[in-house]
Structure 1
Amino acid sequence: MSAPGLYQAAAGPSSAPSAPPTYEETVAINNYFPTPPAPMPGPTTGLVTGPDGKGMNPPGYYTQPMPVPNTNPITVQTVYVQQPVSFFDRPVQMCCPSCNKMIVTQLSYNAGALTWLSCGSLCLLGCIAGCCFIPFCVDALQDVDHYCPNCKALLGTYKRL
């Protein structure tokens, strides 16, 4: 009725208390590993007779598959993340997105909105005799284009107005 080694309550006040079960009995250590079935006499069909007398397949044993070595070589691609570049009226050192070289930009000055407004202002002030064209000669009043010296690609423009 009761299995040996299990803790039972005392039947009466005069009986001596029994020891509690051991850790192995409580947790049932080593009971989770399958044990090979004992050979049974009978036909060798690969079936094992179960407790109810019917045939059943023997328990399967599982092994962890070995990893297959990868025969493909690993290719590493280096990616450089470049922060957005702010273009002003000075040369900028950067990596050219067109030719992927480290460069210092070349500057080109073009007449922009500030140049034309300065010219118009000088005309209104009475500088009609050619002095109104002075803003077209002053780089500080013109827009700036940044070019790559290697591939001549336009990298950006700084507009003064």
Structure 2
Amino acid sequence: MSKEIPVENPPPYSGHPTTGPHFLPQNVVHPTQPTTAGQPSGYAYPVQPGYGQGYGVQSASYNNTTTIVTQPTIAVIQVYRESPVRTMCPHCQADVVTATHYETGTFTWLACVIICFFGFKNFVAFCIGCCLFPFCINGCKDVVHTCPNCRQQIARYNRM
């Protein structure tokens, strides 16, 4: 059997008529009271401390507990390729966009040797120096990322 608790009309409020600090619902049911067929079990409106005194409603007691929610840390892996990257310089701790330049690396020399090997079969291509083309193409060289602030090397992208 459900017991309805009488609620007096609240004092006037300048905001929306169903909101504000003085609004209480008409049919407040305490969770320990039995419910009727139309109400779900354990149905209750939350009553904030101090709001039930003038309206005949029991105030609920709240536990003063602290809940600590921890977020998993996400490791951001910076990928240094051919394009400049925005990062924090480990040397000067500045937030920078890296400056890039190209240097001869293993892939450049390997491409030179392969072209030279196939150039022996075609003596004209060998004499012209086609084996030196990888040294002129940035796509065959390694990319070095440097800090524009302190000029220190931040990363290196090796083709091999």
Tell me the TM-score normalised to structure 2 length: 0.47
Question: Which structure would you say has the larger Rg?
Answer: 1
Tell me the TM-score normalised to structure 1 length: 0.47
Structure with more relative contact order (C-alpha pairs < 8 Å, separation 6 or more):
2
